[in-house]
Structure formats: structure tokens, C-alpha cells
Amino acid sequence: MALALALAVPPAVALGVAAARRPRLAALAVGTAGVIFTVPSLALFALLVGPLGLGTAPAVTALALYSVLPVLRNTVVGLHEVPPEAVEAARGMGMTEAQALWRVRLPLALPVVVGGIRVAAVTAVGVATVAALVAAGGLGDSIFAGLRADDTTEVLAATAVIAGLALTVDAGLALAERTLRRGR
């Protein structure tokens, strides 16, 4: 899951930066990512097992694909919300486009970007559970094993652990987001 996020976040942010000033690219990219996001996870795994086989590869790929939309969309939105006078001040004082991006626009958009990562991470925890079906292992295995053996205790225990994991990840990133917002 962490690997999937690590794979998805940099290109999604880069795409968001590129799209922030180009409305048509933004519409296209967010639209495409949105379509991927709406494909049910089971169907997406089924599609990916074809070319990638069973195991970790389709699982990580699916998680990465799901992560693109929230991160991309929040990057675009976050950059749009940067106060225009701060950007104008940056240009007017002689920052290059790259300096304005790294020193002003991205730092100001960061809390919103982290908000997107948070959504992506929580989604990923849920989807990773289903990844047991493509033999990627993980806690999902326990749920499916419990279901097959009609062992309610095992199902509930695994579910509780997964929910706990999702909540922990969410809380951690929420804290990061809040700290960043306070910092601005």
C-alpha cells in the first residue's frame, strides 16, 4: 500500500502542477482518473490479472491507479486556491516560474495535497483487502479464509484490524494536514 502511494503520488502531483494552469489538460486528466476511480476494485483486479498475473504486481498497480485521482484533483484545487496576490508578488519581485512554484505555490497548496493523499491512503487500505483475491496476501486473506470456514470470529477480528489500520492512517495524515494548515 505504501509502495502504491509512493508510486502514484509524485506523478499525480506533477500532473496536477502541469494541469493547474491548463484547464483542458486538467479536465482530461481529472476525467480519466475519475473513470479509473469508479471502476469497481474487483473488476480492476480482474482486468490487471490478465497482463500482470497473480500476486503483488496487480495489487500495487490497482492501488496506484486508484490513488491518482484524489491526489491529482487536490493538487489542481490546491494550486488554484493559492492567493493570486501571493503569486503576483512572487513574480513581481523577480522569482522565476520554478522558484514561484517551489517557494510559494506548492508550499501553499501542500495542505490540500496532503488531504488528497489522505483520501488515497484510506481508499487503498480498503482496496488492498480485496487484493487477497489476486493472491497478494495480506489481511484480506484472513477475512476470506474466515468466510470459507464460517468462522465469524476470524472475520470480525481481521475486519477490526483493517478498520483500525484505516483509521490510524487517516488520523496520522489528518494530523499532518492540520499541522501544515496551521503553519501557513
Partner 1 sequence: MIRWEEATKRYGAGPPALDGLSLEVPAGETCVLVGPSGGGKTTALKMVNRLVEPTSGRVLIDGADVAGADPVTLRRGIGYVIQQVGLFPHLDVAANVATVPRLLGWDRRRIGARVDELLDLVGLDAATYRHRRPDELSGGQRQRVGVARALAADPPILLMDEPFGAVDPVTRARLQDEFLRLQRALRRTVVLVTHDIDEALRLGDRLAVLAAGGRLEQYGTPAEVLGRPATDFVAGFVGAGRTLRRLDLLSAADALVAPGAGDGPSVDAAASLTEALSALLTSDAALVTVRRDGAPAGAVTLDSIRAALRRAPEGEAQPGLEHEGAADGDGEGGDR
Binding footprint of partner 1, residue count (CB under 8 A): 19
Question: With contact defined as beta carbons under 8 Å apart, do 104 and 119 qualify?
Answer: no
CB atoms within 10 A of CB 180: 17
Cα separation of 171 and 149, whole Å?
A: 33
Please say which residue, 86 or 161, places its beta carbon nearer to partner 1. 86
Least CB distance to partner 1 at residue 95 (A)? 6
Window contacting partner 1 (CB under 8 A); options: 34-42, 73-81, 102-110, 134-142:
102-110
Q: How far is CA 34 from CA 2, 26, 39, 68, 80, in A?
A: 21, 12, 9, 9, 19
Other CB atoms within a 10 A radius of the CB of residue 168 amount to: 11
178 lies in the binding site for partner 1 (CB under 8 A): no
Q: Cβ distance 163 to 101 under 8 Å? A: no
- Using CB under 8 A as the binding rule, whether residue 104 contacts partner 1 is answered as yes
- Cα 86 to Cα 83: distance, rounded to the nearest angstrom: 5
Q: Closer to partner 1 at the Cβ: 22 or 181? A: 181
Minimal distance, residue 135 CB to partner 1, in Å: 45
Between residue 42 and residue 101, which ones bind partner 1 under the rule CB under 8 A? 83, 85-86, 88-96, 99
Rounded least distance, CB 170 to partner 1, Å: 24
Binding site for partner 1 (CB under 8 A): 83, 85-86, 88-96, 99, 103-104, 107-108, 183-184
